[in-house]
Structure 1
Amino acid sequence: MDAKRLNLDSGAQCYREQAWPEPAPTLVLLHGISSGAGSWAKLAAHLPGYRLLAWDAPGYGDSQALAKEAPSAADYAERLEAWLAGLGIERCVLVGHSLGAMMAGAALAAYPNRLAGVVLADPAQGYGDADAAKRDEVYRSRWTQLEAQGHGAYARARAPRLLREGADPADIVRVEAEMGKLQVAGFAQAGWMLANDQLDRYLPATPAVPTLVVCGDEDRITPPEDARALADRLGLPYRDIPRAGHASYIDAPAAFAAALDDFARPLLGAAAAPEIS
């Protein structure tokens, strides 16, 4: 996936793109709190025929951080909308992983006309309804460790938990590499959003566009039972990703890609797209 940059009124927005010579249906990929655009590279090989756009969220990589020190998911969705409009994306399926699922939910609530569908993958649901002590604990639980430990030690301690037990060592290295790019200020903003917002504020009832929930069946961060409960609460279809932890698209890229393709192909008119390898 090629690294690119788009200058918006709100600042630089960096992303990676897998494009095809002919017009192709578009999947937009939103990473989680400890990750970045490069984390989707392994999945990309399993999605021929799609244009893939994976952003570095505001405050990640070289993307300009949000102006608000204490942003909500809606603030990230506003930047997302400006980026997609700037790229001329009229219709896409939005895939939000972990914290990215909260951003995707906010985008669905505010800008449904640009979305053919939404996938909430290993979804974080936020702590906005927790008491003040819990919210403060969640807010400080990541970026303060990164600041104190440094990138290398933080990544070595944290990365294995995002994957299944007995994960491929190369996948652990992949997750560590993305953690090594984290910016403390952007990480802290994302931590604030996780601690003080919640997905249910944006999806209080059945969503306005087709929506799928998927989750790794060995996810230790956002457990499958929580993802299934979300799907049941909203009347949404649910799909397990076998032998996959929280970063299910890294642990099991073929199964994750198959779930995306089955969901997105009819929504985007991609019936003639090549089969997943």
Structure 2
Amino acid sequence: MPFVTIDGQPLHFLDQGVGEVVVLGSSYLWDSGMWAPQIAALSQHYRVIVPELWGHGQSGPLPDTTHGLDDLANQVLALLDHLEIQRFSLVGLSVGGMWGARLALAAPERVRGLVLMDTYAGEEPAPTRQYYFSMLKMIEDAGSVPPPLLDAIVPIFFKPGIDPQLPFYQAFRASLATWSSERLRDSVVPLGRLIFGRDDRLAALSALDAGSTLVMGGEQDKPRPPSEAWEMAELIGCDYIGIPDAGHISSIENPTFVNDALLTFLSELPV
């Protein structure tokens, strides 16, 4: 399994396929498994790199020097520098899109294409920020994600009315229940505060290249509703694609639609 030490901690990443590079940026609370359908499809045509968030999957603890989303973007650039990858496309979902937009703004010459999925470059609306911060405090105090919190957190990531017996739903719930108090307190909770306490970067989006940017989102995404995706697409001047029958983790809920949209977008980018 590939690891690279960045800011003093081991960052785990997947590296599969050959060709033009596509980097997949994951959602908070998810490991690289959320991209399994996309890795399988994209790696037939591209070299796919999937860094795992600090404290998630097999990555090490959140480095002490990580204070914001710009740091996450710089850490991914450091990974790509280590791999001697100069130019790449980036597909970021949720926090993957939050740091992904910042990376594209900071290093536009390196980004061949950018897909922002189920994400938002603005600050977190105050009511949801307070709600998430209260959840994070409860997790920190308990040193675990107790069942009542699992009942509140897990459905956020999926479309309303989803069958909770679906294997990916149950696997996600089970994964959250197994995290150690050390992992939660040292990485997951502070990373959550960093994400939900982010600053507003909407005004900067107009600097992105509209022709090589795409905004996508689940049509039933609760935390990142379609109205936010439309707002960003209009600021960028790029296309927006709604993903039917999908909530926040659209990569898993409607993988066939997502794969087709990504393959079409990537194939049309200039070399």
- What interval of TM-score do these two structures reach, taking the shorter chain for normalisation? 0.7 to 0.9
Residue of structure 2 equivalent to 1:150: 144
Amino acid of the residue matched to residue 86 of structure 1? H
Matched ranges for 1:55-134 at <5 A: 55-61=51-57, 62-68=59-65, 71-127=67-123
**Alignment counterpart, residue 13 of structure 1, candidates 11, 14, 39:** 11
Structure 2: gaps of 5 or more residues: none
Structure 1: gaps of 5 or more residues: 270-277
Q: Deviations over 1:113-164 (max 9, x none)?
A: 2210111100133427x67xx6972562443243337246244542232112
1:25 aligns with 2:20: yes
Using the TM superposition, name which of 51-60 and 177-186 deviates more: 177-186
Partners of 2:20 and 2:88 within 8 A in 1: yes
Matched ranges for 1:1-277 at <5 A: 3-8=1-6, 10-17=8-15, 19-20=16-17, 23-47=18-42, 48-61=44-57, 62-68=59-65, 71-127=67-123, 137=130, 140-147=133-140, 148=142, 150-151=144-145, 153=147, 154-164=149-159, 165-167=161-163, 169-180=166-177, 183-184=183-184, 185-198=186-199, 200=201, 203-208=204-209, 210-267=212-269, 269=271
Amino acid of the residue matched to residue 199 of structure 2? Q
Q: Alpha carbons of 1:11 and 1:204: their partners in 2 closer, same or farther (altered >3 Å)? A: same
Q: Deviations over 1:200-221 (max 9, x none)?
A: 2673414047211000111111
In the aligned structure 2, how far is the partner of 1:177 from the partner of 1:268?
42
Q: Alpha carbons of 1:224 and 1:135: their partners in 2 closer, same or farther (altered >3 Å)? A: closer
Q: Alpha carbons of 1:181 and 1:10: their partners in 2 closer, same or farther (altered >3 Å)? A: farther
Partners of 1:37 and 1:55 within 8 A in 2: yes
The alpha carbon displacement at 1:94 in A equals: 0.7
Partners of 1:213 and 1:237 within 8 A in 2: yes
Identical amino acids, percent of aligned pairs: 25
Q: Which has the higher helix share?
A: 2
Using the TM superposition, name which of 161-170 and 194-203 deviates more: 194-203
In the aligned structure 2, how far is the partner of 1:111 from the partner of 1:257?
26
TM-score by length of 2: 0.84
In the aligned structure 1, how far is the partner of 2:154 from the partner of 2:37?
16
**3-state SS in 2 of match to 1:213:** strand
The alpha carbon displacement at 1:40 in A equals: 1.3
Residue of structure 2 equivalent to 1:275: none
Q: Alpha carbons of 1:260 and 1:145: their partners in 2 closer, same or farther (altered >3 Å)? A: farther
TM-score by length of 1: 0.82
**Root-mean-square deviation (CA), in Å?**
2.6
Partners of 1:33 and 1:98 within 8 A in 2: yes
